[in-house]
Amino acid sequence: MMKKCVIIGSGLGGLACGCILAKNGYEVTVLEQGAQIGGCLQCFRRGDALFETGMHYIGSAEPGQVLYTFLHYLGVDQKIQLSKLNPKGYDVISFKGQHYLMANGKEAFVETLAQQFPQSREELSRYYDLVKQVASSWAMHSLRKDVDLNVNAEYQMRSVNEVIDSLISDPTLREVLAGIVPLYAGEKDHTPFYVHALIADSYDQSASRIVGGSSVVADALADAIRERGGQVLVKRMACQIECDDKQATAVITSDGERYAADLVISAIHPAKTMQMVQSRLIRPAYRQRIIEGRNSTSAFTVYLKFRKDSVPYMDHNFYYYRGDSVWGCEQYDEALWPKFLLYMHFCQEANPVYATTGEILTYMTMDEVRQWEGTHVGRRGESYEAFKQKKAEAAIAALEEEMPGLSEKIEAYYTSTPLTYIDYTGVPEGALYGMMKDVDLLGSAGVTSRTRVPNLLLSGQSITLHGMMGVLAGSMVTCSEVLTMEEIISQLNQA
């Protein structure tokens, strides 16, 4: 008889695990609390305008690169169309009045930045090599078993800023290299360098948008599960992981249904998992540590619908820092908000000439919206609407500093706050990327996919890493607990 695997959460982590295990003979059921699958991969439409909510560009998705290998192995690569960002500058960092471009590949990366930092050419080269070396020390990033575990361990314990400062002498270049910090909601002295290295290396390989929005990926993964006899069920909120003395036996949903399981994978925030499982096998100290663990900060987003053919499509991402450091933007006074903006266009066709939609993303703490906690989408009241309008106007005005005249080209805009993320993904505090990775909380204090309940595994962005590449790599690690790492790497290489 096929073993039954019940997966909680249909975000990227839940769907990827479902797909891998369905390929390997499990009878998979994915339970999703919301009406739409995908978690952060969800898109929304307003008329003919399409908006991404939590996946704006992906790295290393070209043939031969690591994300491509994952997508190909999962059998979804053919269903995903990419639109490549500019290899000569896929990310543009605006810092203290200058624009700095991140280009793909070592030569272009070093030469482009060396034009503005001619004294730093050799340091840039060493930085680039270290990013590659640290990224390669992760088995699931290099798809090799014989990785350098010493490098791996060292850069889990050293912070992004400490490592960059040790390599780069120019203070402005240090800031510029850390300019992608919103991609991991990094915090000075806390975020481990490996997080920066894995993300920087992935985008260095290639950077692309997903044509038609990233919900395409969620749909393709769900189809792949169904094609192998599995099911993906929406409006099924898991509320209990039932256990006997030795293991998990079933998942119970809020409508009282019981889904018997030989294996349970919880691909939601680990704190929520801990609240659902009452087994004595879980030590109180472990449970407490996870429930009280720090989350990454949250975001405020303005979704822009442009007037027809008024805004040329931007084939790069634009990071605009308004202060004198890229660090610390998660702490702000209202008067100084927003301290940074990430501005991007969406891609509804492969080679757009004009952008139909764009997005301004910046940090927002949960405290700013705490007074409306517990209210529901569309029914939070006039004060909330006024708050969002004020914030949206401040964000658009800040962008105007760099893109004068843009606001005249906006036909309509929509907004989201930390409360929106809580409603649509269930993540506590609307945390952008789940639990914080912290140099002080690695090794024995980190959250791994294995739990004390032998057939209850964890997956999703809080475990290994967030993001398309990080969550897929983490899903492989989670599934390796039942299939072995050798088997997964061998299957990936054969694919």
Question: Which residues of the shown chain bind ligand FAD in the complex (CB under 6 A)?
Answer: 8-14, 31-34, 39-41, 54-58, 237-238, 267-268, 272, 299, 361, 425-427, 432-433, 460-461, 466-468, 471
CB of 413 to ligand FAD, least distance (A): 16
Q: Residue 429's Cα: distance from chain center in Å?
A: 16
Non-local (6+) Cβ contacts of 435 within 8 A are 269, 270, 271, 293, 294, 295, 296, 447, 462
Non-local (6+) Cβ contacts of 152 within 8 A are 134, 137, 138, 194
CB of 212 to ligand FAD, least distance (A): 15
End-to-end Cα separation, the chain, in angstroms = 27
Q: In what order do the strands lie in the sheet with 207-210?
A: 58-59, 207-210, 82-84
Between residues 269 and 305, which has the closer beta carbon with respect to ligand FAD? 269
At 460 the three-state DSSP class reads coil
CB of 41 to ligand FAD, least distance (A): 6
Place of tokens 């140099």: 439
CB of 9 to ligand FAD, least distance (A): 3
Asked if 435 contacts 270 with a C-beta cutoff of 8 angstroms, the reply is yes
Distance CA 324, CA 455 (A): 49
CB of 492 to ligand FAD, least distance (A): 19
CB of 268 to ligand FAD, least distance (A): 4
Between residues 24 and 36, which has the closer beta carbon with respect to ligand FAD? 36
Between residues 396 and 432, which has the closer beta carbon with respect to ligand FAD? 432
Q: Residue 412's Cα: distance from chain center in Å?
A: 27
CB of 89 to ligand FAD, least distance (A): 17
Six-digit token pair at 423?
A: 């409603």
Between residues 10 and 449, which has the closer beta carbon with respect to ligand FAD? 10
CB of 342 to ligand FAD, least distance (A): 9
Distance CA 389, CA 368 (A): 14
Residue 145's CB is within 10 A of a number of other CB atoms, namely 10
HSE-up (13 A, CA, CB side) for residue 439: 19
Integer-rounded Cα radius of gyration of the chain:
22
CB of 123 to ligand FAD, least distance (A): 28
Between residues 21 and 151, which has the closer beta carbon with respect to ligand FAD? 21
Between residues 123 and 242, which has the closer beta carbon with respect to ligand FAD? 242
HSE-up (13 A, CA, CB side) for residue 314: 23
CB of 119 to ligand FAD, least distance (A): 33
Distance CA 32, CA 15 (A): 10
Between residues 157 and 239, which has the closer beta carbon with respect to ligand FAD? 239
Non-local (6+) Cβ contacts of 440 within 8 A are 190
Write the Ramachandran bin of 434: left for phi over 0, alpha for psi from -120 to 50, otherwise beta. Answer: left
Between residues 37 and 124, which has the closer beta carbon with respect to ligand FAD? 37
Buried b (16+ CB within 10 A) or exposed e, 167-184: bbeeebbbbbbbbbbbbb
CB of 415 to ligand FAD, least distance (A): 13
Distance CA 272, CA 97 (A): 43
CA angle 380, 378, 419 (to 5 degrees): 60
Among all residues, whose Cβ is closest to ligand FAD?
11
Between residues 56 and 174, which has the closer beta carbon with respect to ligand FAD? 56
Between residues 352 and 430, which has the closer beta carbon with respect to ligand FAD? 430
CB of 131 to ligand FAD, least distance (A): 17
Between residues 266 and 356, which has the closer beta carbon with respect to ligand FAD? 266
CB of 51 to ligand FAD, least distance (A): 11
**Long-range CB contact pairs, 475-481, < 8 A, 24+:** 475/12, 475/13, 475/16, 475/17, 475/20, 475/267, 476/16, 476/20, 476/70, 476/140, 477/140, 477/449, 478/13, 478/17, 478/265, 478/449, 479/17, 479/20, 479/21, 479/24, 481/449, 481/450, 481/457
Between residues 173 and 399, which has the closer beta carbon with respect to ligand FAD? 399
Between residues 32 and 242, which has the closer beta carbon with respect to ligand FAD? 32
